[in-house]
Structure 1
Amino acid sequence: MILTDPPYCVGVSSNSTKSSIIDNRMVLPFFELVFSEYERVLKEGAPLYINTDWRTYPLLYETFCSHFSMRNLIVWDYMWMKAGLYYRFTHEFIMYGTKGKRKRRFDGAQTDIWRIRCINYTDVKNKFHQTQKPTELIQRILQNDTDLGDTVLDSFMGSGSTGVACVQEGRNFIGIEQERRYFEIAQRRIEEARACRS
Protein backbone atom coordinates (compact mmCIF):
# COMPACT_ATOMS: atom_id res chain seq x y z
CA MET A 1 0.00 0.00 0.00
CA ILE A 2 0.96 3.63 -0.49
CA LEU A 3 -0.50 5.82 2.24
CA THR A 4 0.82 9.36 2.32
CA ASP A 5 0.06 13.02 2.99
CA PRO A 6 1.98 15.08 0.42
CA PRO A 7 2.32 18.88 0.64
CA TYR A 8 -0.81 20.49 -0.74
CA CYS A 9 1.19 23.43 -2.15
CA VAL A 10 -1.69 25.87 -1.88
CA GLY A 11 -2.35 29.25 -0.35
CA VAL A 12 0.74 31.37 -0.94
CA SER A 13 2.96 31.79 -3.98
CA SER A 14 6.73 32.28 -3.95
CA ASN A 15 6.47 36.06 -3.60
CA SER A 16 4.23 35.74 -0.48
CA THR A 17 1.08 36.83 -2.28
CA LYS A 18 -2.08 34.75 -2.28
CA SER A 19 -1.81 32.12 -5.00
CA SER A 20 -4.28 31.52 -7.81
CA ILE A 21 -5.37 28.33 -9.55
CA ILE A 22 -2.72 29.09 -12.21
CA ASP A 23 -0.01 29.22 -9.52
CA ASN A 24 -1.25 25.96 -8.04
CA ARG A 25 -0.96 24.23 -11.43
CA MET A 26 2.81 24.60 -11.11
CA VAL A 27 2.74 21.57 -8.77
CA LEU A 28 1.42 19.28 -11.52
CA PRO A 29 4.84 18.27 -12.95
CA PHE A 30 5.91 17.35 -9.42
CA PHE A 31 2.85 15.14 -8.88
CA GLU A 32 3.18 13.61 -12.34
CA LEU A 33 6.65 12.47 -11.33
CA VAL A 34 5.47 11.28 -7.90
CA PHE A 35 2.52 9.30 -9.32
CA SER A 36 4.76 7.79 -12.01
CA GLU A 37 7.09 6.50 -9.31
CA TYR A 38 4.15 5.22 -7.27
CA GLU A 39 2.92 3.32 -10.31
CA ARG A 40 6.38 1.83 -10.75
CA VAL A 41 6.80 0.55 -7.19
CA LEU A 42 3.21 -0.42 -6.33
CA LYS A 43 2.23 -4.04 -6.91
CA GLU A 44 -0.57 -4.83 -9.30
CA GLY A 45 -3.91 -4.65 -7.49
CA ALA A 46 -2.51 -2.74 -4.51
CA PRO A 47 -4.28 0.29 -3.00
CA LEU A 48 -3.16 3.84 -2.41
CA TYR A 49 -4.55 6.58 -0.19
CA ILE A 50 -3.46 10.18 -0.79
CA ASN A 51 -4.46 13.02 1.55
CA THR A 52 -5.36 16.30 -0.10
CA ASP A 53 -7.76 19.21 0.32
CA TRP A 54 -10.51 20.88 -1.69
CA ARG A 55 -8.10 23.25 -3.48
CA THR A 56 -5.64 20.61 -4.67
CA TYR A 57 -8.04 17.76 -5.44
CA PRO A 58 -9.27 19.20 -8.79
CA LEU A 59 -5.66 19.60 -9.91
CA LEU A 60 -4.59 16.09 -8.89
CA TYR A 61 -7.62 14.16 -10.12
CA GLU A 62 -6.68 13.88 -13.81
CA THR A 63 -3.03 13.05 -13.08
CA PHE A 64 -4.05 10.48 -10.49
CA CYS A 65 -6.48 8.83 -12.92
CA SER A 66 -3.83 8.63 -15.64
CA HIS A 67 -1.87 6.21 -13.40
CA PHE A 68 -4.46 4.53 -11.17
CA SER A 69 -8.09 3.52 -10.94
CA MET A 70 -9.85 6.09 -8.78
CA ARG A 71 -12.20 4.24 -6.42
CA ASN A 72 -13.60 6.97 -4.19
CA LEU A 73 -12.95 10.24 -2.43
CA ILE A 74 -13.11 9.81 1.33
CA VAL A 75 -14.13 12.84 3.35
CA TRP A 76 -12.34 12.92 6.68
CA ASP A 77 -14.46 14.96 9.07
CA TYR A 78 -11.98 15.78 11.81
CA MET A 79 -14.67 17.13 14.13
CA TRP A 80 -12.69 20.29 14.81
CA MET A 81 -12.85 23.78 13.38
CA LYS A 82 -9.78 25.19 11.68
CA ALA A 83 -9.40 28.71 10.33
CA GLY A 84 -11.54 29.78 7.41
CA LEU A 85 -12.99 33.09 6.29
CA TYR A 86 -16.02 31.81 4.34
CA TYR A 87 -16.98 28.82 6.56
CA ARG A 88 -14.53 27.17 8.92
CA PHE A 89 -12.62 24.12 7.64
CA THR A 90 -13.70 20.86 9.29
CA HIS A 91 -12.63 18.24 6.77
CA GLU A 92 -9.99 16.99 4.36
CA PHE A 93 -10.09 14.57 1.45
CA ILE A 94 -8.38 11.21 1.00
CA MET A 95 -8.10 10.03 -2.61
CA TYR A 96 -8.57 6.27 -2.70
CA GLY A 97 -7.42 4.31 -5.72
CA THR A 98 -5.85 1.05 -6.83
CA LYS A 99 -3.26 -0.04 -9.34
CA GLY A 100 -5.50 -2.07 -11.61
CA LYS A 101 -8.28 -4.27 -10.29
CA ARG A 102 -8.71 -5.01 -6.60
CA LYS A 103 -11.49 -6.83 -4.82
CA ARG A 104 -13.00 -4.85 -1.96
CA ARG A 105 -11.58 -6.07 1.35
CA PHE A 106 -13.62 -4.03 3.81
CA ASP A 107 -17.23 -4.13 4.95
CA GLY A 108 -19.53 -2.96 2.16
CA ALA A 109 -21.59 -0.97 4.66
CA GLN A 110 -18.74 1.49 5.28
CA THR A 111 -19.36 4.99 3.97
CA ASP A 112 -16.98 7.52 2.43
CA ILE A 113 -17.36 9.96 5.33
CA TRP A 114 -15.14 9.19 8.31
CA ARG A 115 -15.62 11.06 11.58
CA ILE A 116 -12.34 10.79 13.48
CA ARG A 117 -11.16 13.57 15.75
CA CYS A 118 -7.96 15.32 14.72
CA ILE A 119 -4.93 15.35 16.96
CA ASN A 120 -5.60 18.97 17.96
CA TYR A 121 -8.55 17.65 19.93
CA THR A 122 -7.38 14.24 21.13
CA ASP A 123 -3.65 14.46 21.86
CA VAL A 124 -2.25 17.95 21.36
CA LYS A 125 0.71 17.30 23.72
CA ASN A 126 1.95 14.68 21.26
CA LYS A 127 1.56 16.86 18.18
CA PHE A 128 4.97 17.08 16.50
CA HIS A 129 4.04 18.30 12.99
CA GLN A 130 1.69 20.97 11.70
CA THR A 131 -0.21 18.49 9.49
CA GLN A 132 0.13 15.41 11.71
CA LYS A 133 -2.66 12.86 11.29
CA PRO A 134 -4.12 10.82 14.15
CA THR A 135 -2.97 7.21 14.21
CA GLU A 136 -6.65 6.19 14.50
CA LEU A 137 -7.25 7.48 10.96
CA ILE A 138 -4.27 5.59 9.59
CA GLN A 139 -5.15 2.44 11.52
CA ARG A 140 -8.59 2.43 9.93
CA ILE A 141 -7.05 2.46 6.46
CA LEU A 142 -4.59 -0.29 7.38
CA GLN A 143 -7.28 -2.47 8.93
CA ASN A 144 -9.57 -1.96 5.92
CA ASP A 145 -7.13 -2.63 3.12
CA THR A 146 -4.00 -4.51 4.27
CA ASP A 147 -3.07 -7.79 5.95
CA LEU A 148 -0.54 -8.56 8.69
CA GLY A 149 2.95 -8.36 7.23
CA ASP A 150 2.02 -6.18 4.25
CA THR A 151 4.37 -3.33 3.38
CA VAL A 152 3.24 0.32 3.46
CA LEU A 153 5.11 3.22 1.85
CA ASP A 154 4.77 6.80 3.10
CA SER A 155 7.00 9.03 0.98
CA PHE A 156 6.08 12.19 2.93
CA MET A 157 6.16 10.71 6.41
CA GLY A 158 6.53 13.91 8.46
CA SER A 159 6.59 12.95 12.14
CA GLY A 160 5.98 9.25 11.40
CA SER A 161 2.33 8.63 12.30
CA THR A 162 1.95 6.10 9.48
CA GLY A 163 5.01 4.23 10.75
CA VAL A 164 3.63 4.19 14.30
CA ALA A 165 0.28 2.85 13.07
CA CYS A 166 2.06 0.19 10.99
CA VAL A 167 3.95 -1.02 14.05
CA GLN A 168 0.73 -1.12 16.06
CA GLU A 169 -1.06 -3.07 13.31
CA GLY A 170 1.78 -5.46 12.46
CA ARG A 171 2.58 -4.03 9.02
CA ASN A 172 6.01 -3.36 7.52
CA PHE A 173 6.84 0.27 6.89
CA ILE A 174 9.00 2.31 4.53
CA GLY A 175 9.13 6.02 5.27
CA ILE A 176 10.80 8.94 3.50
CA GLU A 177 11.22 12.43 4.93
CA GLN A 178 13.54 15.18 3.69
CA GLU A 179 13.61 17.33 6.85
CA ARG A 180 16.05 15.85 9.35
CA ARG A 181 14.17 17.24 12.36
CA TYR A 182 10.99 15.39 11.42
CA PHE A 183 12.90 12.28 10.36
CA GLU A 184 14.45 12.07 13.82
CA ILE A 185 11.07 12.60 15.50
CA ALA A 186 9.58 9.86 13.31
CA GLN A 187 12.44 7.51 14.09
CA ARG A 188 12.00 8.05 17.83
CA ARG A 189 8.21 7.59 17.70
CA ILE A 190 8.49 4.38 15.66
CA GLU A 191 11.13 2.96 18.01
CA GLU A 192 8.91 3.79 21.00
CA ALA A 193 5.95 2.06 19.30
CA ARG A 194 8.10 -1.03 18.72
CA ALA A 195 9.19 -1.04 22.36
CA CYS A 196 5.56 -0.86 23.51
CA ARG A 197 4.58 -3.72 21.20
CA SER A 198 7.38 -6.09 22.29
Structure 2
Amino acid sequence: MLLTDPPYCSGGLTRTERKAPPSRKYQQDGYAKFADFPGDARDERSFLRWCALWMSECWRILPPGSSAVVFSDWRQLANTCDALQIAGFVFRGIVPWIKTAARPQPNSFKADCEFAVWATKGEIDRKPTPGAKYLPGHYEHAAPREREHMNQKPVALMRDLMAIAPEGGVVLDPFMGSGSTGVACAETGRSFVGVEMTEHYYSVARARIAETYARG
Protein backbone atom coordinates (compact mmCIF):
# COMPACT_ATOMS: atom_id res chain seq x y z
CA MET A 1 0.00 0.00 0.00
CA LEU A 2 0.88 3.68 -0.23
CA LEU A 3 0.75 5.49 3.12
CA THR A 4 2.28 8.95 3.18
CA ASP A 5 2.14 12.48 4.57
CA PRO A 6 3.38 14.87 1.85
CA PRO A 7 4.01 18.60 2.30
CA TYR A 8 0.64 20.39 2.35
CA CYS A 9 1.89 23.64 0.76
CA SER A 10 -0.51 25.36 3.12
CA GLY A 11 -0.19 27.28 6.36
CA GLY A 12 -0.91 30.84 5.20
CA LEU A 13 -3.66 33.12 3.94
CA THR A 14 -1.51 34.96 1.41
CA ARG A 15 0.91 33.83 -1.30
CA THR A 16 3.84 35.31 0.63
CA GLU A 17 2.87 33.48 3.82
CA ARG A 18 2.49 30.16 2.00
CA LYS A 19 5.96 30.50 0.45
CA ALA A 20 7.60 31.00 3.86
CA PRO A 21 9.82 28.18 5.19
CA PRO A 22 7.94 25.48 7.14
CA SER A 23 9.78 26.46 10.33
CA ARG A 24 8.06 29.87 10.15
CA LYS A 25 4.65 28.67 8.95
CA TYR A 26 4.06 25.77 11.30
CA GLN A 27 5.89 26.75 14.49
CA GLN A 28 5.17 29.54 16.92
CA ASP A 29 7.86 31.79 18.32
CA GLY A 30 9.30 30.40 21.53
CA TYR A 31 8.71 26.76 20.64
CA ALA A 32 11.40 24.22 19.77
CA LYS A 33 12.61 24.62 16.22
CA PHE A 34 12.72 21.65 13.88
CA ALA A 35 14.69 21.34 10.66
CA ASP A 36 13.00 22.64 7.51
CA PHE A 37 11.98 20.39 4.63
CA PRO A 38 11.65 21.15 0.88
CA GLY A 39 8.58 21.24 -1.35
CA ASP A 40 6.15 23.23 0.78
CA ALA A 41 5.87 26.46 -1.25
CA ARG A 42 3.66 25.50 -4.21
CA ASP A 43 0.45 27.33 -5.05
CA GLU A 44 -2.82 25.43 -5.47
CA ARG A 45 -2.47 24.66 -9.18
CA SER A 46 1.13 23.53 -9.01
CA PHE A 47 0.35 21.48 -5.89
CA LEU A 48 -2.37 19.61 -7.79
CA ARG A 49 -0.06 18.99 -10.75
CA TRP A 50 2.85 17.92 -8.54
CA CYS A 51 0.66 15.50 -6.55
CA ALA A 52 -0.72 13.97 -9.75
CA LEU A 53 2.86 13.36 -10.97
CA TRP A 54 4.18 11.53 -7.92
CA MET A 55 0.89 9.73 -7.32
CA SER A 56 1.00 8.45 -10.91
CA GLU A 57 4.41 6.91 -10.25
CA CYS A 58 3.07 5.27 -7.09
CA TRP A 59 0.08 3.93 -9.04
CA ARG A 60 2.47 2.49 -11.63
CA ILE A 61 4.42 0.37 -9.15
CA LEU A 62 1.63 -0.70 -6.79
CA PRO A 63 -0.04 -4.06 -7.47
CA PRO A 64 -3.75 -4.13 -8.41
CA GLY A 65 -6.07 -3.82 -5.44
CA SER A 66 -3.58 -1.81 -3.37
CA SER A 67 -4.77 0.95 -1.05
CA ALA A 68 -3.42 4.49 -1.11
CA VAL A 69 -3.80 6.64 2.01
CA VAL A 70 -2.53 10.23 1.70
CA PHE A 71 -2.75 12.89 4.40
CA SER A 72 -4.07 16.39 3.76
CA ASP A 73 -5.35 19.41 5.64
CA TRP A 74 -8.66 21.13 4.88
CA ARG A 75 -7.06 23.63 2.49
CA GLN A 76 -5.69 21.00 0.10
CA LEU A 77 -8.28 18.28 0.67
CA ALA A 78 -10.08 18.77 -2.66
CA ASN A 79 -6.79 18.92 -4.59
CA THR A 80 -5.56 15.73 -2.93
CA CYS A 81 -8.78 13.89 -3.81
CA ASP A 82 -8.57 15.14 -7.41
CA ALA A 83 -4.88 14.27 -7.80
CA LEU A 84 -5.40 10.68 -6.70
CA GLN A 85 -8.09 10.24 -9.33
CA ILE A 86 -6.00 11.94 -12.03
CA ALA A 87 -3.23 9.46 -11.20
CA GLY A 88 -5.60 6.55 -11.82
CA PHE A 89 -6.72 5.63 -8.31
CA VAL A 90 -10.36 5.00 -7.40
CA PHE A 91 -11.44 7.48 -4.70
CA ARG A 92 -12.93 5.62 -1.72
CA GLY A 93 -13.40 8.17 1.03
CA ILE A 94 -11.93 10.43 3.70
CA VAL A 95 -10.84 9.27 7.15
CA PRO A 96 -10.53 12.16 9.66
CA TRP A 97 -7.76 12.16 12.23
CA ILE A 98 -9.09 13.99 15.28
CA LYS A 99 -6.32 15.44 17.44
CA THR A 100 -7.48 14.85 20.99
CA ALA A 101 -5.10 17.38 22.56
CA ALA A 102 -5.51 20.27 20.07
CA ARG A 103 -5.54 23.74 21.61
CA PRO A 104 -8.68 25.91 21.28
CA GLN A 105 -8.44 29.29 19.57
CA PRO A 106 -10.26 32.49 20.65
CA ASN A 107 -13.43 33.31 18.69
CA SER A 108 -12.78 30.35 16.39
CA PHE A 109 -13.71 26.73 15.88
CA LYS A 110 -10.92 24.47 17.09
CA ALA A 111 -8.58 23.25 14.33
CA ASP A 112 -8.36 19.68 15.60
CA CYS A 113 -8.54 17.60 12.44
CA GLU A 114 -6.43 16.42 9.51
CA PHE A 115 -7.60 14.02 6.84
CA ALA A 116 -6.41 10.71 5.41
CA VAL A 117 -7.71 10.38 1.85
CA TRP A 118 -8.28 6.75 0.90
CA ALA A 119 -8.19 5.40 -2.64
CA THR A 120 -7.41 2.08 -4.31
CA LYS A 121 -5.75 0.83 -7.48
CA GLY A 122 -8.80 -0.73 -9.05
CA GLU A 123 -11.57 -2.64 -7.35
CA ILE A 124 -11.53 -4.19 -3.88
CA ASP A 125 -13.36 -7.14 -2.38
CA ARG A 126 -16.31 -5.89 -0.32
CA LYS A 127 -17.82 -9.31 0.36
CA PRO A 128 -18.53 -10.01 4.07
CA THR A 129 -16.41 -13.15 4.10
CA PRO A 130 -14.73 -14.64 7.20
CA GLY A 131 -11.68 -12.57 8.04
CA ALA A 132 -13.03 -9.40 6.42
CA LYS A 133 -11.86 -6.19 8.09
CA TYR A 134 -14.34 -3.72 9.58
CA LEU A 135 -12.45 -0.51 10.30
CA PRO A 136 -13.74 2.73 11.88
CA GLY A 137 -14.48 5.88 9.88
CA HIS A 138 -12.23 8.14 11.96
CA TYR A 139 -9.36 7.88 14.45
CA GLU A 140 -8.61 9.85 17.61
CA HIS A 141 -4.99 10.30 18.65
CA ALA A 142 -3.01 13.10 20.25
CA ALA A 143 -0.15 14.57 18.25
CA PRO A 144 3.19 13.32 19.62
CA ARG A 145 4.62 15.36 22.48
CA GLU A 146 8.13 14.04 21.91
CA ARG A 147 8.88 14.39 18.23
CA GLU A 148 11.66 14.84 15.69
CA HIS A 149 9.64 16.56 12.93
CA MET A 150 7.29 19.53 13.13
CA ASN A 151 4.51 17.58 11.37
CA GLN A 152 5.24 14.14 12.83
CA LYS A 153 2.28 11.76 12.87
CA PRO A 154 1.56 9.38 15.78
CA VAL A 155 2.89 5.88 15.21
CA ALA A 156 -0.39 4.49 16.57
CA LEU A 157 -2.30 6.37 13.86
CA MET A 158 -0.08 4.91 11.14
CA ARG A 159 -0.61 1.43 12.57
CA ASP A 160 -4.37 1.98 12.47
CA LEU A 161 -4.35 3.16 8.86
CA MET A 162 -2.13 0.39 7.51
CA ALA A 163 -4.59 -2.15 8.89
CA ILE A 164 -6.47 -1.73 5.58
CA ALA A 165 -3.59 -3.56 3.86
CA PRO A 166 -2.77 -7.28 4.10
CA GLU A 167 -0.62 -8.35 7.02
CA GLY A 168 3.00 -8.93 6.08
CA GLY A 169 2.72 -6.75 2.98
CA VAL A 170 4.84 -3.85 1.75
CA VAL A 171 4.16 -0.21 2.66
CA LEU A 172 5.53 2.65 0.53
CA ASP A 173 6.09 6.12 1.98
CA PRO A 174 7.68 8.55 -0.53
CA PHE A 175 7.70 11.36 2.06
CA MET A 176 9.25 9.48 4.97
CA GLY A 177 10.05 12.47 7.20
CA SER A 178 11.02 11.26 10.66
CA GLY A 179 9.92 7.70 9.87
CA SER A 180 6.67 7.11 11.77
CA THR A 181 5.33 4.93 8.94
CA GLY A 182 8.49 2.82 9.00
CA VAL A 183 8.30 2.45 12.78
CA ALA A 184 4.69 1.27 12.49
CA CYS A 185 5.76 -1.27 9.84
CA ALA A 186 8.50 -2.58 12.10
CA GLU A 187 5.99 -2.97 14.92
CA THR A 188 3.44 -4.82 12.77
CA GLY A 189 5.75 -7.08 10.76
CA ARG A 190 5.33 -5.30 7.43
CA SER A 191 8.08 -4.49 4.94
CA PHE A 192 8.80 -0.81 4.37
CA VAL A 193 10.08 1.31 1.49
CA GLY A 194 10.75 4.91 2.49
CA VAL A 195 12.02 7.88 0.48
CA GLU A 196 13.33 11.11 2.03
CA MET A 197 15.13 14.01 0.31
CA THR A 198 16.39 15.70 3.48
CA GLU A 199 19.55 14.10 4.85
CA HIS A 200 18.73 15.17 8.40
CA TYR A 201 15.31 13.52 8.42
CA TYR A 202 16.62 10.44 6.60
CA SER A 203 19.09 9.94 9.45
CA VAL A 204 16.37 10.49 12.05
CA ALA A 205 14.02 8.01 10.37
CA ARG A 206 16.71 5.39 9.93
CA ALA A 207 17.66 5.63 13.61
CA ARG A 208 14.04 5.40 14.81
CA ILE A 209 13.30 2.37 12.63
CA ALA A 210 16.53 0.62 13.65
CA GLU A 211 15.75 1.26 17.31
CA THR A 212 12.29 -0.27 16.88
CA TYR A 213 13.75 -3.43 15.34
CA ALA A 214 16.37 -3.60 18.10
CA ARG A 215 13.65 -3.55 20.75
CA GLY A 216 12.04 -6.52 19.03
Q: TM-score range by the shorter chain?
A: 0.7 to 0.9
The letter for the 2-side match of 1:97 is A
Return the alpha-carbon distance in structure 2 between the equivalents of residues 75 and 14 of structure 1.
26
Q: What TM-score, normalized to structure 1?
A: 0.86
Indicate the residue corresponding to 2:154 in structure 1: 134
Deviation track 1:70-95 (CA, whole Å, cap 9, x = no partner) reads 11100110112257673221010000
Equivalent residue of 2:176, what SS? coil
Counterparts in 2 of 1:68 and 1:193: CA distance versus 1, 3 Å:
same
Corresponding position: 1:75 with 2:100: no
Indicate the residue corresponding to 1:170 in structure 2: 189
Deviation at 1:177, TM superposition (A): 0.5
Counterparts in 2 of 1:15 and 1:59: CA distance versus 1, 3 Å:
closer
Q: What TM-score, normalized to structure 2?
A: 0.79
Deviation at 1:117, TM superposition (A): 2.0
Return the alpha-carbon distance in structure 2 between the equivalents of residues 116 and 132 of structure 1.
12
Corresponding position: 1:182 with 2:183: no
Matches within 5 A, 1:19-30: 23-30=43-50
Corresponding position: 1:43 with 2:63: yes
Corresponding position: 1:87 with 2:112: no
Counterparts in 2 of 1:65 and 1:181: CA distance versus 1, 3 Å:
same
Counterparts in 2 of 1:83 and 1:153: CA distance versus 1, 3 Å:
farther
Counterparts in 2 of 1:12 and 1:90: CA distance versus 1, 3 Å:
closer
Indicate the residue corresponding to 1:118 in structure 2: 143
Q: How many residues align?
A: 188
Counterparts in 2 of 1:56 and 1:184: CA distance versus 1, 3 Å:
same
Equivalent residue of 1:74, what SS? strand
Indicate the residue corresponding to 1:8 in structure 2: 8
Identity of aligned residues (%): 32
- Structure 2 counterpart of 1:147, from 163, 167, 181: 167
Equivalent residue of 1:16, what SS? helix
2:49/2:83 contact within 8 Å kept: no
Return the alpha-carbon distance in structure 2 between the equivalents of residues 17 and 78 of structure 1.
24
The letter for the 2-side match of 1:174 is V
Return the alpha-carbon distance in structure 1 between the equivalents of residues 156 and 65 of structure 2.
25
Unpaired runs of at least 5, structure 2: 20-41
Unpaired runs of at least 5, structure 1: none
